[in-house]
Structures are given as structure tokens and as C-alpha cells.
Amino acid sequence: MGQPHRGDEVEKPALGVGMVGYAFMGAAHSQGWRTVGRVFDLPRRPVLAAVCGRDGQAVRAMAERHGWAAAETDWRSLIARDDVDLVDICTPGDSHAEIAVAALAAGKHVLCEKPLANTVEEAEVMAAAAEAALARGQMSMVGFNYRRLPATSLARNMIAEGRLGTLRHLRVTYLQDWLVDRRFPLTWRLRKEAAGSGALGDLGAHIVDLAQYLAGEPLVGVSALTETFVRERPLPGGASSGLSAVSDGGLSAGPGTGGLGTVTVDDAALFTARFASGALASFEASRFASGRKNSLRIELNGERGSLAFDLERLNELSYHDHTEPGAHAGFRRILVTEPDHPYLDAWWPPGHGLGYEHTFVHQARDLVRAIADGRPPVPSFADGLQVQRVLAAVEESAEKNSVYTPIAV
């Protein structure tokens, strides 16, 4: 098993990490940075240098709990720190572009949570800044963590090897239910100026990226519907505090106490799409699917076989080999826990599964290795821009009720 060489650890150069944002996603990223060097043998040693958030007391408590050496309340101060080599952005989408561009201009590497930005225009600026920074040796990556599951990574390898043949169909759903209660407060995730979009950007960005990653090709057009089921929600503590109570989460906010505010994003998005090869796809993203907590399922059908993945069974793939005789052909389970499966040489014996949190460990591993090797990590900011263009095309199609909306390239 690929365990770290403890004797070499002190000699490895440090990689100082500074993180902006500290709630749900900040905790997940902290787990990744804190754990990765204890599991994988890395060429550089991640150091949790500083974490940043607007609430000084809350961010200091988070720093102590998750092992960050220092706390800041201004992201500009965090970027200016000499002990920060990489800036990890876990804030709402409306601040991604400003922080990322400033960090790259200051000579830092950047990891940015998905979706890359709130608009195509912001994403284009970020991608251009990342391309210019790459020439200076600075790396940038988008945090589409579901690529880092051993099962989805194995699925990508199998598809690239031709196990499915020519792709015909892809269908994917990502369903949650945390907005079903209309008393849930109006957090930043429900305001377009902060989040960009609703279920479309929050969940749809994940499944668009995963679909394109597994298929190995881009989407080129969409036809879409979106809907907002509850159009007014309680303000959490009053209009002035509704958008700033939670720095990068919102799922833990309590009941509102300050009147009602308007929801300005979608609650659900449903769209069909076409890949460059002509393969067809369908997508559904909703935060109103009662009983579904974090249900992501994707299936790909090709001329030679099919593959399916379910996040609720995240250590498994379902695979059908259509070249086998029909008398004994059918879907079979692949238990993705073997040491020759992606990422698993450093973890537990076969049969001992991993979980959601491990995607962030693998994300950190891949980024650290890319930085040390001087090679661009994936998914890049250009990949994030492509996803942003798909999301924008979905919004445009839904607004116009058009049959087909091309995606600008």
C-alpha cells in the first residue's frame, strides 16, 4: 500500500494553503488538506496556513477546530501572506472571480469551488487569468469533487478504453429535498446576486461536469425548463442579515424571523442535451425531491455496453457488457475497493469502502502533485468555463422556451 515515507516528510518543501470561506464546504476542504499528507506520499507537504471569513469569532473557532494556524477576516490580507502559496476559494459564487484573479496576480496557485463563477463573463475573465498565470508556473483548478471518487474515475477509464463503444445515451439526476419546507429561510443560495442560479448551478454544475468528464466530450446544445416552486421565504433575522449569516453554507440556517423575501433562483432544472458526437443526454437537478438527501445517479449506454453509478452506493459501479451472449449477459456489480482501482492503493484492504469526504483528499492529492510536477491540473478553469456556458445555455433556453439553444464555444 502507498503509505507516506515518514522519514522524508520533514525534507519536503511546504505548500502553504490559505482558504477563504469556512462553513460546510470549508470544513470539507479542511478535511482534505489535513488528511492528504497522512495518506499519500506527496512531493510537497500541505500546511494549513490560514483561513479567512468575515465573522472574526466564527472563523477563529473554525481555525482551532480544523487545524488552521491562523485566521483572517479580509481575503486580501490572506492573499498577501508570505506563508500562503495556494488560495482555496470556498465562498459564494459572486466573489469567486475577484478573489481568484487577485490571487493569481499575487503569484498564488488557486483552487476554486464549483461553479467557477456566476456568469460566463466572469468565468471568461478567470480562465484568461489562469492561462496567463500558467505561463508563470501557477496552477488553477476547479473543485468538481465527484470526479475524484474511485468509482467514477474507474468508469472514466473503462469508457476511455472503449468498453462502451460509441456512446448513444446518457441520463443523470441529482436530487435533494432541503427546500421542500417553505419555512426554510432565504439564505444566499436562494438569491441570484450571490449564487448565480439555484439547483442549476448548485447541483447541475456537478452533473454537467461529470457527464462531460465520463463521456470524454462536450455538450453542444440544450433544451430546458426551470421552475421556482416557492417564490417567497422568511428572511433569517431580518433583511440586512439574510445574505451574510453564513459564509459558504446555508444548510444549517434556522427559521427566519424578519419577514419575507423573494427567491430569485430556480428550485429545479430539467433539460435535454446533445454531445458533439451526436449522443443524447437528459439532466434533472432539484432541491425539491422529497426523501432524496443527496441522490446523484448517472447511466451511460453505448453500442458495446452500459455503465451506471449511484452516489448512495458510491463504492460500486453497475456494468453491462453487451458483447456477451444474451443467455448470461446483464448488469453486474463492480465493487470498487481494489488497490489497482483509482486512488485506492493508499487506503484500506479490499472491501473496505470510502466515503464522500475522501473526494476532497483525492482532490488535494491531485492538485499537489500537479503543482510539484509543473503540469496543468484538471479540471482547469477552462473546463469550468465550459460548464458555465452549458448552465447559461440552459437558463437561456428555459427563459425563451426554445426547442434548442446552441452553446457558444
Residue 218 predicted with pLDDT over 50 = yes
- Beta bridge partners, 280, equal 169, 274
pLDDT digits (tens, 9 = 90+) for 41-65: 999 999 999 999 999 999 999 999 9
Average pLDDT, the chain: 93
Instruction: Note the pTM of the prediction, 2 decimals.
Output: 0.92
Contact partners, residue 406, CB within 8 Å, separation at least 6: 220, 221, 393
- Summarize pLDDT for 263-307 with one digit per residue, the tens: 999 999 999 999 999 999 999 999 999 999 999 999 999 999 999
Return the higher-pLDDT residue of 1 and 313. 313
At residue 46, φ and ψ (nearest 5 deg) are -65, 135
CA–CA distances in Å: residue 366 to residues 40, 117, 343, 363, 409: 10, 22, 10, 5, 27
Domains annotated for the chain, with CATH where assigned, are 6-145 (3.40.50.720), 149-354+381-406 (3.30.360.10)
Portion of the chain with pLDDT greater than 90, in percent? 89
Burial of 400 (0-12, 13-18, 19+ CB in 10 A): exposed
Rounded Cα distance between 409 and 120, Å, is: 11
**What is the strand order of the sheet 14-20 is part of?**
71-72, 45-52, 14-20, 86-89, 109-113, 140-143
Measured CA to CA, the distance from residue 382 to residue 128 in angstroms comes to 8
pLDDT at residue 10 is higher than 80: no
Residue 253 has pLDDT above 70, yes or no: no
For residue range 152-165, list pLDDT tens digits in order.
Answer: 999 999 999 999 99
pLDDT above 70 for 255 = no
